[in-house]
Structure formats: structure tokens, C-alpha cells
Amino acid sequence: MNISGKQGVINGETKVLGIIGEPVEHSLSPAMHNAAFKEEGLNFCYLPFRVSSEDLPAAVSAVRALGLRGLNVTSPHKEAVVPYLDELTPEASFLQAVNTIQNQNGKLIGHNTDVEGFLFLLANNNLIKNQNIYPGGKICLLGAGGAARAACLALSRAGAEHIVIYNRTPARAEALASLLVKGGLFKEKAVDVVKWGKNALRESLTRVDMIINALSVDPVELGLLPERTGKPVCKAAIDLRYGSLPRSFIKWADDNGMLFFDGLDMLLGQGLKAFEILTGEKAPLQTMRKALLQAVV
């Protein structure tokens, strides 16, 4: 199995990392991290583990029992995993969402590298100018889960001034809005929650600088967005999903004169940070980027 170590083989000293989620087969993280281990001559391997919600406590316990160096965490476990960890970093504690578990001699520490990942996406695509969101700072956010929360924390650090939140479950949207205000990220008048419904965003999209889809589905196919406006709605549309996306949102952005970006750069950015946390080594950016581009379908 030629995926790790200086000799490209697994042996008795190989350190094991992985990712848990349900589903997890689609994840590009194994390709990205194993390519980095090989490039850097590190005796690590990275494996995907499909874990149901019922088996999550046992899976976390297995990190200690099996001596795994750590895990990445993807949907639907980013929030549910929190109670089973020994310590949270400030970002993970604030968001109550974890995407990286570090095993430090049996002590499990929860990190959230999605914040760094989203900042990487913004910076890598010239959506931050002079340390601030370009061009102005009003963001329309679709979704209120763990990825959406991480994006909000990153956006506040990047200078965003106004967030409009739209989510199928109003209570989750209101909870996110409350978190942003009470946490001091945004002023109360700068966070709005929009009621779910077809074309409900038509008015909210006026004078918006960026629209971000943190839902697991295409927002156009749900009928959430207005049809062609005849002028750019905003500078950029970002879909935190990646891979073989339905084309509707991409076409909608193009028809309305917007730049479109998927979540591949966010995956890369969070992966770079997770690599450094879990290995203690500097992440090879170009190697990991190349591996993602080769693996994406």
C-alpha cells in the first residue's frame, strides 16, 4: 500500500490519521494528505472511516485506544463530537464545532481549521483587499450549520460588516445570529435573519457584496434565488461544496455577472492547517493543491 513514509510503505511505526463522517467515501482529504506525507517523507497514512451517529462515541474512544495521531471530522459530526473531547481551542469552543481532533498523548483536543480554510479561500481568490472584504462587507449566507458558523468567524476577521442569514430551520438561523452578536463579531443591527421561502432573498440581495451557499444542496434548485436580474447581484458567489456540483448555482452566478468559486480552496486551506496541527510539520501547499485537483471529479 504505497501511500506513506520515505519508502512509500506502511510498517510498524506508521502513524495513522483519518477522517470520520457519514458519508465519507467522497472525501478528498485522504488523497491530499497522503500525497503530502509521501512528498515530505513522513511515515504517516490517512484513512477514511464511515462512522454513524450512533457509533460516534465509540469512534472517538478508538482514537485513544488505537493510538491514532488524530482525525478530521466532517458532516454530520462536527457539532456532535464536541462533548466527547477533553479540550477545545478558542475557535472550536466559540463555534461549538470541531473538524480536527488532535491526540496529544491520550488527551483529545478539538480544533476548527474551517476558519483558516475559508480565509484561505477568500485570500487566494482576491476577495480580500487591504485586509478587508472587497468591495464592501455585506454578505448573504445560506445555511446555519458548522461550516456556516466557521465562515462567519472568518468573515468577521476579514472585515465583513453585515450578515444576512437564511436557513430552512429558523431556530438555527436565530441561534447563529445570536452567537455572532453576543460574541462581539457583529453589531446587532448588522445581522439579519430572512424567513425561508421561494424567492425570499430577492430583496435581501440588493447591495450585497457576496453570497455564500453553506447548504448541502443547490440553492437555485430549491427556488431560493431570483432569476436573472440584468445586472450583477454582487461581486462573488461561493459554494462551500466542491466536486461534481449541480450546475444551476454556477449558471445563475454567471448569468448575473458574478465570479463563482466552489469550496475546494476552503478544503485545501483547512487541510494545510490540519496537516501542521497533526504532524507538527509545515504543509506542502503545491503538493496538496495538485493532489486535490487530480482527485476532484
pLDDT band, residue 221 (cuts 50/70/90): confident
> Contact at 8 Å (CB) between 143 and 215?
yes
Mean pLDDT of the chain: 90
Contacts of range 192-195, beta carbons closer than 8 Å, 24 or more positions apart? 192/162, 192/163, 192/164, 192/165, 193/164, 193/165, 193/166, 193/167, 194/164, 194/165, 194/166, 195/170
The C-alpha angle with vertex 263 and arms to 24 and 53, in degrees rounded to 5, equals 30
pLDDT of residue 173: 95
pLDDT: is 194 or 47 the higher one? 47
Give the burial class of 90: count Cβ atoms within 10 A of its Cβ; 0-12 exposed, 13-18 middle, 19 or more buried.
Answer: exposed
For the ranges 37-41, 102-106, 134-138, 276-280, the lowest mean pLDDT is seen at 134-138
> Contact at 8 Å (CB) between 140 and 211?
yes
pLDDT of residue 1: 38
Tell me, what amino acid is at 123? A
Q: pTM for the complete prediction?
A: 0.91
Summarised one tens digit per residue, pLDDT across range 114-138 is 999 999 999 999 888 766 676 568 8
Provide the greatest CA pair distance for the chain.
62
Q: What is the mean pLDDT of residues 189-204?
A: 80
> Contact at 8 Å (CB) between 210 and 238?
yes
Distances from the Cα of 30 to the Cα of 1, 46, 69, 292, angstroms: 13, 5, 15, 10
Most confident of 63-72, 139-148, 236-245, 255-264: 63-72
pLDDT of residue 228: 66
Summarised one tens digit per residue, pLDDT across range 162-193 is 999 999 999 999 999 999 999 999 999 999 99
State percent of the chain over pLDDT 90.
70
Q: What is the mean pLDDT of residues 242-259?
A: 87
pLDDT exceeds cutoff 70 at 7: no
* Alpha-carbon gap, residue 112 to 124, rounded angstroms: 20
Summarised one tens digit per residue, pLDDT across range 12-24 is 899 999 999 999 9
Q: Domains plus CATH for the chain?
A: 15-112+265-295 (3.40.50.10860), 116-262 (3.40.50.720)
- The set of catalytic residues is 78
* Alpha-carbon gap, residue 240 to 264, rounded angstroms: 8
pLDDT of residue 2: 43
pLDDT exceeds cutoff 60 at 225: yes
